[in-house]
Every structure is written in structure tokens, then in C-alpha cells.
Chains A and B, each alone.
Chain A
Amino acid sequence: MICHYFSEPQWLIISPDVPALLYYTHIPVALLALIIGTYIFSKMPKRPQNQYLFLLTLSFFGWITINLIAWTNIHAPVILSVWPLFGIFTALISVFSIYLTYTFINNDDVPNTLKATLLLLITPIFIFSHTDLSIEGFNISDCDAFGFEGLLFVTYYNLLGVLAIIWTAYFLIKAFVSNPKSSVQRKKIVLFGLGIQSFLITFISIIWIAGNLANAGIIEDSYFEFYGLFGMVAFLALLGILITQYKAFNVRVVSAQTLLVALVILVGSQVTVAETRLVMLVGVATLVLIMISGLLLNRSIKSELKQREKIESLAKDLTKANERLRELDKQKSEFVSIASHQLRSPLTTIRGYASMLAEGSFGTMSAKATEAAGRIEEAAKLMAMSIEDYLNISRIEAGNMKYILSDFNFKEMVDTICDGLRAEAMKKGLVLLFRSDINSRAIVNADIGKVNQIIHNLINNSIKYTPQGSISVLVRDDIQKKKIFVDITDTGIGMSQETIAKLFHKFSRADNANSVNVSGTGLGLFVAAKMAEAMGGEITAQSAGDGMGSTFTLTLPLAM
């Protein structure tokens, strides 16, 4: 039997008797859904969430296809054969929405109990689809089966849709609550939840209401069911955000590619609803241009994507290597610490006995033997100082350096140190001067031992690297800035700006340091700078260049 009031469709679905909006709402949405579903599935076919998204979009595509056939075909057996499939596809959409939500949240396949439960629930739809419970007859005048649908059948499959809305909402709320606030997973759940719920709610409710009104004869046909399909557009848009922003479904796509596909489908579907040949030609031309430029754009995007992936992979390798280096550095510091401790004890013994030998505690020795014992003591002293530097470095790097803070007079301390080192300077024929320009009480709150060590180190360095001339030590303060300074200025070998830039690095020594035959590890300034920093101060160095002398300044906060 055929609907004699309507024309035969061309190419199965093109009919002049249906609203033009039908094609615009159905074809682009169905194609977009199927393309996205298939693309995601093809990227990782074994991943359950990719499989269920594909099955969901495939069921949706099936629903739209039979809807188009039902709208445009005029043969009663054809329309009646596809009509029960509305129930089947609605049931499948409901089930796959539940599965997809479960797998998206848990990143694991659906348990067999849940699969079996839902399978049992949808089985009656398949079993009774060909019976009068599903559909009894056909209206030739209106060319549809409204009024002949079984109320129980329609209600049952639509209730499965309602069940899917409630079940997915339950999964989503549970996952949202169990994830920590502002976590990425929570944001993903919100986006996915908004998408799947907007799809299910609009699709199930609008189509159910439209079908019921048409069955009751209140409306002529289910025209406004078209609007129920727009929920899928919202779902796909949110899926696009999830994929491009959060790499959901393990798919790497850039926004431009998604936009391009959407654009081609939208312009393509506009061609199908063009009312005049001219509009259709313009539409086709636009579509061709978009496709050509899209192909070019896609090529450049692909190469950009490849580069980005390479950079990401390199960054990952770099992070790993960095972690490994940090681990090795830690192990090295531990080794240095242990080794230094082991060396310090015998060295103290060597120094002690060498000193006792030189002083004649074990009897009188010849002048040559006394000199040799003195050299042993001096060498042991230098070695002990180097070991102390190594130990300090391992303490600093391990974060184990202890600072005992107390108030003391900074100016008096520097004065005392100068007094102590003056004899050594004089031995080298140098003059060591001390001056002060103080407006405060010169009290600082710091570790007295460490500050002593820093100043001692700086003045000692000046003595070592000054072959002739003088060393001037000036203590000054700045009450407004609440800082106190000690400037150690010498007439020594000086430094270039390049040397100053790396002077406070580990194992760094001035390029011309060996010119004065001074041994050193290059650790003293590094340790001193780290100690000063830990006490809220800093050490800076200035020099006009090689052979022009240097000025080292230690700054510490004043205790007001």
C-alpha cells in the first residue's frame, strides 16, 4: 500500500513533501556524530569508552536514518518495517549512554552484572517489536503509523530512556563527589555530564512528548521532534572540548580540525535545503573552497601536531633525565659527606702529631725535621679546610645546614677578625686597614659562627690574591634600608666581568687565580654566599678588571 497523497522520494530520502528543516536537523547532526564516533573508535578500538561512544553514535545515526525514511517514504510496508526500530534504537541509545558514562568515569569496562541487567531490560523491545504490541497498522492519508503504536511498547522504551537519564546522573554525581575539588577529573566529569545529560534529556523527552501528542491526534505529525536532536550537538561540542583540552578518549585532535569537519558538514547540509539552483551552486562552490583550504590547513596542522608531540616527548625525556641527575647529585653529596667524615678524624690526628713533633713534645729534632713537621701540619690544615668546605656543601645541598641565630655587634666582630689576620697580612708585606662608618648600634641577628667564617674567608681571599699593596675593610650601614655592609677592598689581581658572573658557582675560580700560586677548591665563595643568603643577606663582588683589585661586600639585615 502506498500513501497516495504524497510523492515518491528521490534517492530514498529526498522528498518535496517534508519540511526543509528535516534535512538540516537530521543530516549534519547524524554525520557529525558518526564521524566523531568513528574517528575516536579508530584511534583506539580496544578502549571500552571509545567502543561505547562509537556504538552510541552509531545507534543515534540509525535512529536518524529510520526517522528520515519514515518521514519521506510512501510505501506502508517500508515505513512499518522501520517503525519498530525507533524503540530498538532508543533502547540501545539509553544502554550505551549508561555504559559510556560508566567507562568514562571508571576508565574500565562495564561489569558483566550491569551488562546482563540492561540486556534483560532491553530484550522485550526486540522480542515484541514485530507484534501488535509494537505497531498495529498504518495511516495512508497521513503516511505515518501514529495512532497505531502500542502504548505499552512506546512507554516501555521511553522509560528506558528516563532510566538512562537517572542512572548516568547517579554515576556522574557519585564520581563528582568522590573526586577532590578543582581536580582535572572533576572538570572532565562536569563537561561530560553536561553533554550526555543535555543529549539524553532533550532527545528522550522531546521525542516522547512529540510522539505521544501525535498518537493522541493532538498534533498532525511529530514535527517538533526535530528539536530533540540538538542535544546531540551540545554533547558533541562538549566532547570536542574534552578531546582538545583534556585529551579525553586518548585522542589528539586540534580544535581547528574539529571546526573544519563541522564547517564542511554544516555547509554541505545547507546545500541540501537550498531552494533555488543558484543558491545551491553558491553553496557547492563554498563547500569546495572550504574543502580545498581545509585540506591545506589540515596538512599544516598535522605537521605542527607532529612537532608538538616530538617536543612533548623530548620534554618528558628531559624531565626524566633531570630527575635522574638530581638523584645522582644527592647520592654524590651523601658520598662526599660520608667520605669527608671518614677523612676528618685521621687528619686531625696527623695535624695533632705533626704539631707536637714541630713543638718538640717527643724530643728535640733537627731543624730540617722540624721544618718538615711544620709543612705536614700546614698541609693537613689546608686539607682540613677543604674537607670542611665539602662537608658544608653536602649540608647545604641536603638542607641540613643548621643556623643558630643570636644578636651580636657586627662592627666589633669585623674589627676582631681584622686584628687576628693583620699578622698574616704583614707576613706578605700587606697593610690591612679597618674603618667604620656606622650610624646604628651595628647589631645583627645571625649565626655568629657562620658570619665569622664568611668574613674570615673573604679577608683571607683578599690576602691570598693580593701580591702587594693593601686591604681595606670598611663597615657601614644604611638605617633606612635596615642593612649593614662590610666592604673588603684590595689592590690584588682583580677579575673580569665574566669571572665575576660565575664566581659564586661551585668549583669556580678566577681565571688568573693560579698566577699567584694559591691553591683552592673553588668552594669557599659558594659556601659563603649560600650561608649569607640563608641568613637574609648576600655577597657581591666588584672589580675594574684584571690587575685592578677587587671589592667584596657582605650585606646583612640590621636588627633594629
Chain B
Amino acid sequence: MFFLKHFFSITVVLLLALSVTSTHFRFFVLEDYQVKHEIQCDPYTKVCFEACMDDLCTETYFHAYAVRQAKDLKQICGDDITHCEEALYCNPEVLPCEVVYCDPILRSCDTLHEDALILDKT
């Protein structure tokens, strides 16, 4: 009788608990997710993203993105990749990864600010 009267609330609470637990288990324990981060990119050979070094954009730099498994990257670099050499490049022999360059079909790459298109000059 109690369940029939409160079946909605009971089911939602159970589903919510299940969802939170399984999500927590996946991301905290298994660390089963991909990470995308900036890697170095040569604007003379690839279509790179251009980003600003500061808020006023007085200086820019070029980069691409690498996508890898979080667990793999953490094993090599730890939680923070700021000073991790391996995280600056995509070398599939060291760590499986996929490189994402700026795609003019998907996004505008013709701005001088972030995400700018640098033509492949090779």
C-alpha cells in the first residue's frame, strides 16, 4: 500500500541513488573517460588553432588538441599535466591518442583570436 502510494518518489530516489553511485564509480574509481587537452602544433605544416596568451591578446600561440584516455594520461603525468613533457605531443607509441586540428568546415578559423585558422603551408 505504502509503495503504491509513493511508487513515484521511491522509484525516483532509487534511480537517483543508482545513477549517482554508478557515475561516481565510473569517473572516480575506474576513471573511464577521455580527456581533451592542448598540444603543440606547427602552423607551417598543420591547420592549428591560435589562442591568446593573455586577456588583451598581446601575444598568441598555436595549438592542436589531443584526445586520450584519462587513466593512461594520469599514469604518466599525474593529475596535473602542466609540467608533463609527454602531454605536449601526441605519440601513439608512448600513449594512444588522437589529434584534433582546426576544421574550417565545422568552425570559423579565420579570426586572429582564439581558434584562428593558420593555413597549412606544406
CB contact under 8 A between A217 and B106, given known A1-B74, A137-B36, A140-B35: yes
**Which chain B residues border A76 with CB–CB below 8 Å?**
27, 33, 35, 70
B65 CB to closest chain A CB (Å) equals 7
Residues 31-54 of B, flagged 1 when their CB comes within 8 A of A and 0 if not, give 101111110000000000000000
Which of A121-129, A152-160, A435-443, A503-511 lies on the face that meets chain B?
A: A121-129
Residue from B33, B37, B107 within 8 A of A136 (CB atoms): B33
Smallest Cβ-Cβ distance to A137: which chain B residue: B34
User: Would A81 and B33 be within 8 Å (CB), given that A4-B80, A141-B38, A217-B107 are in contact?
Assistant: no
The answer to whether the Cβ of A266 comes within 8 Å of any Cβ in the partner chain is: no
Check B12–A80 contact: CB distance below 8 A. no
Contacts of A217 in B (CB 8 A): 106-107, 115
- CB contact under 8 A between A129 and B11, given known A135-B33, A141-B36: no
Beta-carbon contact of B81 and A123 below 8 Å? no
Q: Are A218 and B107 in contact (CB under 8 A)?
A: yes
Segment 139-187 of A: residues with Cβ below 8 Å from B? 139-141, 147-148
Assembled-state Cα–Cα distance A218/B37 (Å): 18
Contacts of A141 in B (CB 8 A): 36-38, 65
Are the C-beta atoms of A115 and B36 separated by less than 8 Å?
A: no
- A81, A115, A220: the one within 8 Å of B8 (CB): A115
Contacts of B67 in A (CB 8 A): 137
Given A1-B70, A147-B36, are A80 and B27 also a contact pair (CB < 8 Å)? yes
CB contacts under 8 Å to B, within A1-55, are: 1-2, 4
Q: A138 and B23: CB pair below 8 A?
A: no
> Does B7 reach chain A (CB closer than 8 Å)?
yes
84-122 of chain B: CB within 8 A of chain A: 106-107, 114-115
Instruction: Kindly list chain A residues whose C-beta atoms are within 8 Å of the C-beta of B35.
Output: 1, 76, 137-140
Evaluate contact between A138 and B33: CB separation under 8 angstroms: yes
Q: Are A148 and B34 in contact (CB under 8 A)?
A: yes
Closest chain A residue, CB of each to CB of B15: A126
Supposing A136-B33, A138-B35, A138-B36 touch, asked if A130 and B15 sit within 8 A by C-beta, the answer is no
Given the complex, which residues of A lie within 8 Å of B11, measured CB to CB? 119, 123
Note all chain B residues with C-beta closer than 8 A to A112. Answer: 4, 7
- Count residues of chain B with CB under 8 A from any CB of chain A: 37
Known contacts A76-B35, A81-B28, A141-B37: A119-B22 contact under CB 8 Å: no
From A80, A85, A115, A127, contact of B33 by CB (8 A):
A80
Min C-beta distance of A164 to chain B, whole Å = 16
A92 within 8 A of B: yes
Q: Is A129 a contact of B23 with CB atoms below 8 Å?
A: yes
Interface footprint category on A: 20 to 34
Query: Cβ of A147: which chain B residues have Cβ within 8 Å of it?
Result: 36
Q: Is B58 an interface residue (CB 8 A)?
A: no
Find chain A residues with CB under 8 A from B106 CB.
Answer: 216-217
A88 at the interface (CB under 8 A from B): yes
B79 interface hit (Cβ, 8 Å): yes
The proximity string for A residues 76-100 relative to B, scoring 1 for CB distances below 8 Å and 0 otherwise, is: 1100110011001000100000000
Are B19 and A84 neighbours in the complex by a CB distance under 8 Å? yes
Known: A4-B82, A129-B19. A119 touches B12 (CB 8 A): yes
Q: Are B33 and A2 in contact (CB under 8 A)?
A: no
A116 to B7, CA, bound (A): 9
Which residues of chain A have C-beta atoms less than 8 A from B114's C-beta? 220
Q: Which residues on A sit within 8 Å (CB–CB) of B57? A: none
In the complex where A77-B31, A81-B23, A130-B22 touch, is A140 in contact with B16 (Cβ < 8 A)?
no
Minimum distance in angstroms from A492 CB to a CB of chain B: 82
Most buried by B among A1, A2, A81, A84: A1
A130 and B70 contact, CB distance less than 8 A: no
Once the chains are docked, how many angstroms separate the CA of A138 from the CA of B8?
33
CB pair B18 A126 closer than 8 Å: yes
In Å, the complex CA distance between A116 and B11 comes to: 10
Assembly CA distance A102 to B15 (angstroms): 24
Q: Which residue of A lies closest to B11 (CB)?
A: A119
| Distance of A406 Cα from B73 Cα, bound (Å) | 111
- From residue B99, how far is it (CB to closest CB) to chain A in Å? 14
Chain A nearest CB from B108 CB (Å) reads 9
Q: Smallest CB–CB gap between B81 and chain A, Å?
A: 6
Question: What distance in Å separates the Cβ of A3 from its nearest Cβ neighbour in chain B?
Answer: 9
Chain A residues lying within 8 Å of B23, measured Cβ to Cβ, are 80-81, 84, 129-130
Bound: A127/B20 CA distance, A: 10
- How far, in whole Å, are A77 and B11 apart by their CA atoms in the complex? 26
Q: A136-B33, A137-B36 are in contact. Are A1 and B73 (CB under 8 A)?
A: yes
Q: Give complex CA distance A116, B8 in Å.
A: 7
Chain A to chain B contacts (Cβ below 8 Å), 15 pairs: A2-B80, A76-B27, A77-B28, A80-B23, A80-B27, A84-B19, A92-B12, A119-B11, A127-B19, A136-B33, A136-B34, A138-B34, A139-B36, A148-B33, A218-B107
B residues in contact (CB < 8 Å) with A = 4, 7-8, 11-12, 15-16, 18-20, 22-28, 31, 33-38, 65, 67, 70, 73-74, 79-82, 106-107, 114-115
Of all A-B residue pairs in the complex, the 6 with the closest CB atoms, nearest first, are A137-B34, A126-B15, A130-B22, A140-B37, A130-B23, A77-B27
